Structure 1
Amino acid sequence: MKKRIELSVINHYLAQKQHLWPGSRQPDPVQVTRDIVALHASAAVGPYLSLWARVPGFRRELLEDALFAQRSLAKVLCMRYTVHVAPGDEAPYFFQAYADRPPTRDQAPLNTLLVWAELCRDADAEALGLALRGRVLDVLREKGSATVREISGAVPELTARVRHSAGKKYEGEFSIGSRLLPMMCAEGTLIRGRPRGTWRSTQHEYAVLADWLPGVELASISPKDARTWLIRRYLAAFGPATPDDVKWWSGLSKTQVAETLAWLAPEIAQVTIEGCSENHLMLAEDLARLRDFTPPETPYAFLLPALDPYIMGYRDRGHFLGPEHNKKVFDPAGNAMPTVWADGRVAGLWGQRRDGPVVYRLFRPVEPA
């Protein structure tokens, strides 16, 4: 028989697993990142604010040390083809889980871009692409790390430009280097390093992955085992969740999600949640812990940044956000705004004025914490 769980209990339990209520905050940024799988990092400040919400006394130097000195954390391209901060020793799992993903619609192959940039003919594009990759690696092995601009100084073909979206409002152009280096990260040869300038900068250095994370072997696990690991980790951090939630969060295909959940079936329990029509999945060992869970007796609140892993973890957000507020919190692409939470549910939005103070607007009454 499926276990039926009160909605409020689920929200408190998830806040605990996500290290978001006071008794569950964790002082180690690496352990927090491991526990919630990864930190969304397409916005430079995102990982810092996600850790600030979960790590008592957090300072940005803690994340910088883990990323750039200890390298216990690393920036990897994974879920939904976006950059995340994840434990460095888990890079093979993230890489192999997506090793066979096709390019997205807006990702033209490098060979095509080289022709569009008038660097070569179709017949020569494959050879030129391989040569450019080799020269980029040579530059980085000599320099250790460098920006696209610095690498382009030694590989001038990278400065060639391609126009896109001709005749549209968002018409523009990009350099070959700005596409090739992220491609090489996706291929597992490069990795994103330090930001150039301030910690808020979106310009960063690149390094050879094998030099940045010595001892990490991307081929040490199969794609099937990597996907099994990834979805197991998702359920541990975000369950109960539906198969649609798994697909949304992971960016894997419907077939891959269904196959992986079938392999994990002996480890999974089905539960029903008060007020939710769909059955939800969670790890059986997690359900056993939930039975012993005692919700907090006092009110609590926390702030999450835009694109925080928790709010981005579900396709259906009904258990923590009323449908009447969905368009206020998420843009048409499904990206979350900075949110105010109270007792495990979204209660409003927040922002920071240029002169420093944090301001907020609540959707509903909140009991004082």
Structure 2
Amino acid sequence: MDGLQLARRRAGTVGLGVAQPAPFTGAADVVGWFGALQSQDYHPAKWAVAQRLGPGITDTDLDRAFDDGVILRTHVLRPTWHFVTPADIRWLLELTAPRVHALNAYAYRVTDLDAGVLRRATDLIAEALAGGNHLTRTEVATMLNRNGITALRVRLGYILIHAELERVICSGPLKGKQHTYALLDERAPQAASLDREVALAELVRRFFTSHGPATEKDLSWWSSLTRADIATGLALAGDALESTEVDGLTYWSAPGDPPSPPPSPSVRLLQAYDEYIVGYTRSKHLLDLSGLVAAASDKLALPNGVITVDTQVAGRWKRTVRKDEVIVDAVLYRPFDVAESRSLQDAADELGGFLGARAVVAVSVL
């Protein structure tokens, strides 16, 4: 395979390669396919899920799934939020939390959060949430401050992250527009633990199946696992994965043919943290085989959404939601032809359908 073939296969495995019918039946299928789907920004992350489900799914549908606990949100893999399923949340945290704690160690020190303070804060939060009592970030902070633990801004953030990593809390249902926290044991009472080797094999298999072809270095960044752990996971995964070498790099993926691509040109409006964008470090160049992104890298104040044409990054975008319409400001790295422009409008209309608004596209070219 060459770089473009790798990129085409990858677009299929991340759920962007099939036109219709969509291969997933619901939000839990999408999130479970990846194991964890980055949700640093909640609203754009819902759009990433919706794009894998196809037309008909709405923003309200995914809020409902989130409120019902079909998908959960917590800090796992890296020091950022991810969507996870109730079935996966416990074993993923058990496997990766020690590494994330190590990454957070400096932040714990500079915010004066030693083991004793973190343990007491976690115990207080657990007591306050018991019995299905879902609290917002502000309400948690008020409770901690009342009990003598300063919980402001960054310090509060790391207190909450620590409690998530310790498998005590996770996301609760929305309270209006505010996110809440809930006890993990109450939100996902059937969440299973796995033997560490079983968990290693499963996470390695899940990543390369959902993100492949990808490299070990890609997985190391995505999961925070050591290269030694990844080597162990690959050995344990056995025939569930296969490798190929291209230009001196070894890429891993699940065996078999990838899904068929949609008709070209296929333009997509991806959120900045879509797994197709953030799932890779060593092999991120497959998104920019022609060097368009590199040529635009010195431009300032670009929107952070990513426009792709087929498998390649071709611009940036942002959305502005108004009462009855969503404005899509598209900044292109090169001019689009008629077919690509039509596909861009189709992508905006898909976003409009998701949000229940008419889509208006405004285009500029760098």
Report how far residue 130 of structure 1 moved: 4.0
Letter of the aligned partner of 1:107 in structure 2? Answer: A
Please state how far the C-alpha of 1:205 moved relative to its aligned partner.
Answer: 1.4
In 1, Cα distance between equivalents of 2:264 and 2:124: 60
Query: What is aligned with 1:180?
Result: 159
1:342 to partner: Cα distance: 1.0
CA contact under 8 A between 2:292 and 2:313: conserved in structure 1? no
Post-superposition Cα deviations, 1:166-220, rounded to whole Å, max 9, x if no partner, equal xxxxxxx64754432321111001112234442xxxx521111111112224xx2
Question: How far apart, CA to CA, are the structure 2 residues paired with 1:192 and 1:156?
Answer: 21
Q: What is residue 364 of structure 2 aligned with on the other side?
A: none
Distance of aligned partners of 1:132 and 1:302 in 2 relative to their CA distance in 1, 3 Å threshold: closer
Q: CA RMSD in A?
A: 3.1
What is the correspondence of 1:139-178 to structure 2 with a 5 Å cutoff? 139-142=128-131, 144-157=133-146, 160-161=149-150, 174=153, 177-178=156-157
Contact 2:28 2:71 in 1 (8 A): yes
Moved more, 138-147 or 293-302: 293-302
Instruction: Give 2:179's aligned residue.
Output: 204
Q: Does 1:194 align with 2:182?
A: no
- 8 Å CA contact 1:51, 1:58 repeated in 2: no
SS at match of 1:106: helix
> Which residue of the partner structure matches residue 250 of structure 2?
279
TM-score, scaled to structure 2: 0.78
Structure 1 unmatched runs, 5+ = 115-124, 163-172
Q: Deviations over 1:24-60 (max 9, x none)?
A: 5345222122223332111122221212322222211
Distance 1:177 1:138 in 2: 17
Match of 1:23, as an amino acid?
A: Q
SS at match of 1:340: strand
Map of 1:117 onto structure 2: none
Partner of 1:134: 123
User: Cα–Cα, structure 1 residues 364 and 277, in superposed 2: closer, same or farther, change >3 Å?
Assistant: farther
Alignment of 1:281-320 (within 5 A): 281-283=252-254, 286=255, 288-290=256-258, 294-315=260-281, 316-320=283-287
Pick the structure with greater CA Rg. Answer: 1
For residue 361 of structure 1, the aligned residue among 320, 331, 337 is: 331
Residues 214-250 of structure 1: CA distance to partner in whole angstroms, max 9, x if unpaired? 2224xx2123321221110011011111111111221
1:58 aligns with 2:57: yes
| Aligned residue number for residue 308 of structure 2 | 341
| 2:293 is the counterpart of 1:325 | yes
Alignment of 1:224-263 (within 5 A): 224-263=197-236
Give the direction of change, closer, same or farther, for the CA distance of 1:135–1:324 in structure 2 (3 Å limit): same
The structural deviation recorded for 1:98 is: 0.9
Counterpart among 270, 286, 301 of residue 243 in structure 2: 270
Identity of aligned residues (%): 21
Partner residue in 1 for 2:349: none
What TM-score does the superposition give when structure 1 sets the normalisation length? 0.77
- SS of 1:206's equivalent in the other structure is strand
Distance 1:58 1:258, change over 3 A: same
Counterpart position of 1:170:
none
1:19 aligns with 2:39: no
Separation in structure 2 between the aligned mates of residue 347 and residue 129 of structure 1, nearest angstrom = 45
Q: In the superposition, relative to structure 1, how do residues 351 and 144 fare at CA in structure 2: closer, same or farther (>3 Å)?
A: same
Shift of 1:256: 1.9
- Relative to 1, partners in 2 of residues 1:73 and 1:354: Cα closer, same or farther, differing over 3 Å? closer
